[in-house]
Amino acid sequence: MVAEGDFTGKAENYSKYRPAYPIEIIRLLKEKYGFNKDMVIADIGCGTGILARLFLENGNPVICVDPNEDMLAVAKKILSSYSNVSFVVGKAESTHLNDHSVNVITAGQAFHWFDMDRAKREFRRILKAPNMVVLIWNDRDVRDPFTQQYEELVREFSKGYHGTGSTAIPAERIYSFFDYDYDYYQMDNFQALDLDGLIGRYLSNSYSLQESDPRYREAISRLEDLFKTNQKDGKIVLKYTTKVFIGRLI
């Protein structure tokens, strides 16, 4: 899984400026998979709790697992009003959870950081019926002209960027993770952001330039220009396709 330092110092921006996940995901799980609020969720690579909140709002007990203590500290603050949440410093490959202690494992944008084989073994160890794994992420929808321009800027100014969400994962890895037996869904999603939000969205990424980088100021200036050219009523809209992969690990 991702080294803890990759997001250190980025937790506040991450919590404020990453897109949320559509409530339709909960309805989908209830209608097609018998999902209910009594099922215990382990949200692996929980970050600042963006995905966990979706399930906490449904009433589920959620265990938030992440290797980065900065991220967990923000998650604890943001989710402090929920009584059914707990927090564990752990990784996808070593969660420190008890055998057969959770019904559903969720993972958002963190999945592409996992060591697939080791995570799969660990997930099987901690899962119990219905042994469900739900992978969810937001891919930028580059069919939208503004989102395409933002994507191009990110590629130009970000070190080690190889795509986001499912675009960073070869399809074969997802197929094999689920032993070629899973369901796939997608839905539209978006973020409306002001200028601070657009800059914060970029800075929330593990691959964003640090302020000490000689190209940092140029990157921010380009983001400002992009915003000014495309804003309407002080906002721009980033569009996403939310992708949902649902399978079981027995």
How far, in Å, CA of 72 to CA of 46, rounded?
8
CATH number of the domain bearing residue 123 = 3.40.50.150
Return the number of other C-beta atoms located less than 10 Å from residue 154's C-beta: 20
pLDDT score recorded for residue 164: 61
pLDDT score recorded for residue 162: 59
Range of the domain at 67: 4-140+162-189+242-248
Q: Is residue 66 part of a domain?
A: yes
SS3 243: strand
Report the sign of the C-alpha dihedral through residues 68, 212, 193, 162, in that order: negative
How far, in Å, CA of 235 to CA of 230, rounded?
8
Q: Is residue 132 part of a domain?
A: yes
Q: Is residue 226 part of a domain?
A: no
Give CA separation, 222 vs 7, 79, 218, 219, 225, in Å: 23, 34, 6, 5, 5
Beta bridge partners of 241: 139, 188
Q: Is residue 54 part of a domain?
A: yes
Report CA Rg, the chain. 18
pLDDT score recorded for residue 3: 39
pLDDT score recorded for residue 5: 39
Q: Is residue 41 part of a domain?
A: yes
Q: Is residue 96 part of a domain?
A: yes
Q: How many domains does the chain have?
A: 1
What is the residue-level pLDDT of the chain in tens, covering all 250 positions? Answer: 443 335 555 567 777 888 999 999 999 999 999 999 999 999 999 999 999 999 999 999 999 999 999 999 999 999 999 999 999 999 999 999 999 999 999 998 889 889 999 999 999 999 999 999 999 999 999 999 999 999 999 999 987 675 665 566 788 889 999 999 999 999 999 999 999 999 999 998 878 898 999 999 999 999 999 999 999 999 999 999 999 999 999 9
Q: Is residue 236 part of a domain?
A: no
How far, in Å, CA of 200 to CA of 183, rounded?
33
pLDDT score recorded for residue 2: 40
Q: Is residue 212 part of a domain?
A: no
